[in-house]
């Protein structure tokens, strides 16, 4: 498989900790402790994959860790092997601060075996206390039910914590050292596209790269792209996509010849946008060695509006096809590109993608439709999940074609990792989409938008990262479902805004309290004009990840039993866990500061 980024994929390091007393105690535990490490490694490699579909790689310390010397030996091995995630496992008492992982930037978890023969739980409590005292937050894993000594099975509740921790920890490790690439600058005064380099550096361990939009123009005009790939891509688009109705007034419609040139430019922009992110060896063959190297960008953002789109075709097709799980070259992991260079939504896309390995839906949080308003406009009140009202998610660009909901499992709409998507599902996603000539009211330079409607009854999570002066970054989360409206209602409501854009009707799960008192409250408390929609109810994974970055969560509807944060968070209070989260994040500060 072709390596996408310059950095190697981070590995998971397993640290088998042991009671260091020789002449009987340690010797009796060696086999059991190392077996626990191998069972953990096997479970993770069989269950988790990286974004590229490869099983995660696990490194186990060469020896059990009974004290400082072996802890350092393990740390050195992990450094050489590229370990980015640390999991300590033990069935027994060990010497806490002597055996702990001291790397300040590596997310850490400790699984203390719940057994009565040897006090693994005592070590867990001791070493977590050491982590907290030293300011190195760690996640505790302790099974609810007592197991017999030597039992190598991993209980279900332990599995859940191992997976929740490891998925989030791998995101932290994968983002470290990557770039956010701004193509252009601030779009229409949108705060999220005022890129805060201190945030990227101190919280995420990422660097910021920036180019002017004229670089895109230079590559278009000088042919700095693979012409063979463009020819292939153009034929693929012409064969597979339907061009829908042009909604523009006759005065503002572009000629058919001009629209065809717009389509060609849009495809070239997609190729160039990808090349800007990760490079393209074929450019070196054309003499463009510098351009061939790319920016090692995990995320990019395209300003587009207005300076570019007032004169050139918009970036909607580029954003949509890059964010999708497939293109003319076949199925592959999405390339994350944020509309309007909204870097904070771009980061949220990275969170969602790396947690789930699926494409993300970038959208405006456009309109709250109350039942009363729906009935006034359509003549009938909404029913089912939509009966309490819903939110219209809509944006001209960046909504991945996976968002059509045309992938399925057992007949139910889903979003899948690219390696699970069938060729038939790719065709269905495209068939459910129309390329629509762009509204020249918004985009004077023409171009194409993608028009589709997301299928209903999908469990989804919307999320958004915001930055508040004096507070820093905060994350908000809303789990819920997509819904479908009847054709009459859909057309009437969709036509009230730009109907050439992808539409998702979203209903949050309500708790009857705070921001989730009702659907209106969710809309009213949303922190910005954009959100990211991920497949599945994955809010708990977002919360765990946010705690690793020391980003507090100001709004969520995740059940309390599913919230999993480092042990230290409990020391800031257990009855008001939202405030405890704020306190812990403030005290520990950004991960890389």
Please answer whether residues 317 and 327 qualify as being in contact, where contact means their C-beta atoms are separated by less than 8 angstroms. Answer: no
Please answer whether residues 91 and 29 qualify as being in contact, where contact means their C-beta atoms are separated by less than 8 angstroms. Answer: yes
Angstrom distances, CA of residue 184 to CA of 61, 97, 361: 46, 49, 22
3-state class of 35 per DSSP? helix
Q: Which long-range CB contacts under 8 A does 36-40 form with residues at least 24 apart? A: 36/89, 36/90, 36/91, 36/111, 36/113, 36/152, 37/61, 37/89, 39/152, 39/153, 39/154, 40/14, 40/87, 40/89, 40/111, 40/154, 40/162
Out of 275, 340, 451, 498, the active site residue is 340
Counts of helices then strands in the chain (DSSP H, E): 19, 23
DSSP 286: T
Q: Per this entry, what is the length of the chain?
A: 593
What does the alpha-carbon distance between residue 101 and residue 107 come to, in Å, rounded to a whole number?
10
Binding-site sequence positions: 340, 364, 530
pLDDT at 433: 97
For strand 179-183 and strand 207-211, is the pairing parallel, antiparallel, or unpaired? parallel
Structure tokens at 426: 């790719």
Beta partners for 367?
392
On the CB side of 236, CA atoms within 13 Å amount to 16
Q: Which residue has the tokens 């480092």?
A: 566
3-state class of 11 per DSSP? strand
For strand 58-60 and strand 330-331, is the pairing parallel, antiparallel, or unpaired? unpaired
Query: What ranges in 368-500 are assigned the alpha helix state H?
Result: 371-378, 423-431, 487-494
Binding-site sequence positions for Mn(2+): 340, 364, 530
Out of 226, 319, 364, 451, the active site residue is 364
DSSP 201: I
Q: Is 227 a catalytic residue?
A: no
Structure tokens at 290: 């510098």
pLDDT at 116: 67
Q: What is the pLDDT along the chain (593 residues), one digit of tens a residue?
A: 578 999 999 999 999 999 999 999 999 999 999 999 999 999 999 999 999 999 999 999 999 999 999 999 999 999 999 999 999 999 999 999 999 999 999 999 999 988 767 777 899 999 999 999 999 999 999 998 888 877 889 999 999 999 999 999 999 999 999 999 999 999 999 999 999 999 999 999 999 999 999 999 999 999 999 999 999 999 999 999 999 999 999 988 999 999 999 999 999 999 999 999 999 999 999 999 999 999 999 999 999 999 999 999 999 999 999 999 999 999 999 999 999 999 999 999 999 999 999 999 999 999 999 999 999 999 999 999 999 999 999 987 779 999 999 999 999 999 999 999 999 999 999 999 999 999 888 899 999 999 999 999 999 999 999 999 999 999 999 999 999 999 999 999 999 988 899 999 999 999 999 999 999 999 999 999 999 999 999 999 999 999 999 999 999 999 999 999 999 999 999 999 999 999 999 999 999 99
Q: Is 578 a catalytic residue?
A: no
Angstrom distances, CA of residue 457 to CA of 308, 511, 589: 37, 19, 39
Structure tokens at 557: 């509807």
Q: Domains in the chain, please, with CATH?
A: 11-175 (3.40.50.1070), 179-557 (3.20.14.10), 558-588 (no CATH)
Structure tokens at 338: 């944020």
On the CB side of 295, CA atoms within 13 Å amount to 22
Dihedral angle of Cα 378, 380, 382, 383, to the nearest 10 degrees: -150
CA neighbor of 481 nearest in space, from 442, 550, 534, 440: 534
> Rg of the chain's alpha carbons, rounded to an integer?
25
pLDDT at 111: 95
CA neighbor of 266 nearest in space, from 285, 243, 245, 282: 243
- Residues 414, 420, 422, 427, CA torsion sign: positive
What does the alpha-carbon distance between residue 283 and residue 398 come to, in Å, rounded to a whole number?
26
* Whole-prediction pTM: 0.97
């Amino acid at each position: 498989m072709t390596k996408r980024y310059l950095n190697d994929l981070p590995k998971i390091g397993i640290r088998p900790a042991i009671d260091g007393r020789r002449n009987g105690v340690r010797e009796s535990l060696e086999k059991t402790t190392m077996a626990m490490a191998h069972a953990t490694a096997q479970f993770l490699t069989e269950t988790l994959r990286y974004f590229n579909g490869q099983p995660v790689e696990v490194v186990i310390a060469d020896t059990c860790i009974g004290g400082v010397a072996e802890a350092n030996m393990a740390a050195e091995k992990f450094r050489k092997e590229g370990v980015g995630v640390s999991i300590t496992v033990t069935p027994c008492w060990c010497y806490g601060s002597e055996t702990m992982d001291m790397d300040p930037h590596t997310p850490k978890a400790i699984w203390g075996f719940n057994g009565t023969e040897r006090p693994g739980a005592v070590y867990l409590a001791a070493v977590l206390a050491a982590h907290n005292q030293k300011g190195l937050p760690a996640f505790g894993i302790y099974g609810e039910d007592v197991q017999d000594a030597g039992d190598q099975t991993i209980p279900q509740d332990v599995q859940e914590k191992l997976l929740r921790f490891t998925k989030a920890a791998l995101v932290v490790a994968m983002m470290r050292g990557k770039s956010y690439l701004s193509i252009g600058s601030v779009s229409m005064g949108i705060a999220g596209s005022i890129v805060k380099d201190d945030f990227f550096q101190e919280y995420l361990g990422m660097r910021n790269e920036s180019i002017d939009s004229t670089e895109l123009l230079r590559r278009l005009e000088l042919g700095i792209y693979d012409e063979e790939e463009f020819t292939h891509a153009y034929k693929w688009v012409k064969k597979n996509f339907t061009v829908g109705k042009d909604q523009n007034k006759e005065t503002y419609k572009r000629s058919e010849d001009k629209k065809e040139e717009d389509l060609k430019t849009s495809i070239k922009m997609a190729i160039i946008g990808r090349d800007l992110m990760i490079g393209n060896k074929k450019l070196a063959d054309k003499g463009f060695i510098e351009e061939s190297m790319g920016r090692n960008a995990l995320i990019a953002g395209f300003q587009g509006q207005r300076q570019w789109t007032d004169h050139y075709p918009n970036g909607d097709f580029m954003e949509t096809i890059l964010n999708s799980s497939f293109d003319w070259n076949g199925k592959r992991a999405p390339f994350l590109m944020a509309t309007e260079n909204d870097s904070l939504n771009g980061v949220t896309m990275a969170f969602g993608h790396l947690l789930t390995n699926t494409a993300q839906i970038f959208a405006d949080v456009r309109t709250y439709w109350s039942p009363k308003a729906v009935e006034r406009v359509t003549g009938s009140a909404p029913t089912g999940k939509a009966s309490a009202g819903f939110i219209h998610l809509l944006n001209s660009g960046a909504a991945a074609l996976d968002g059509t909901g045309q992938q399925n499992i057992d007949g139910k709409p889903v979003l899948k990792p690219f390696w699970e998507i069938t060729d038939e599902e790719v065709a269905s996603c495209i068939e459910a989409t129309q390329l629509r000539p762009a509204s020249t009211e918004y985009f004077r330079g023409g171009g194409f938008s993608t028009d589709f409607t997301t299928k209903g009854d999908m469990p989804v999570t919307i999320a958004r990262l915001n930055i508040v002066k004096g507070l820093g970054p905060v994350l908000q989360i809303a789990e819920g479902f997509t819904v479908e409206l009847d054709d009459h209602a859909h057309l009437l409501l969709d036509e009230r805004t730009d109907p050439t854009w992808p539409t998702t009707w979203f209903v949050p799960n309500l708790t009857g309290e705070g921001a989730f008192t009702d659907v209106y409250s969710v809309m009213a408390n949303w922190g910005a004009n954009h959100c990211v929609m991920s497949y599945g109810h994955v809010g708990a994974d977002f919360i765990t990840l946010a705690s690793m970055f020391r980003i507090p969560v100001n709004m969520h509807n995740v059940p309390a039993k599913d919230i999993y944060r480092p042990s230290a968070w409990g020391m800031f209070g257990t009855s008001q866990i939202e405030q405890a989260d704020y306190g812990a994040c403030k005290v520990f500060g950004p991960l890389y500061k």
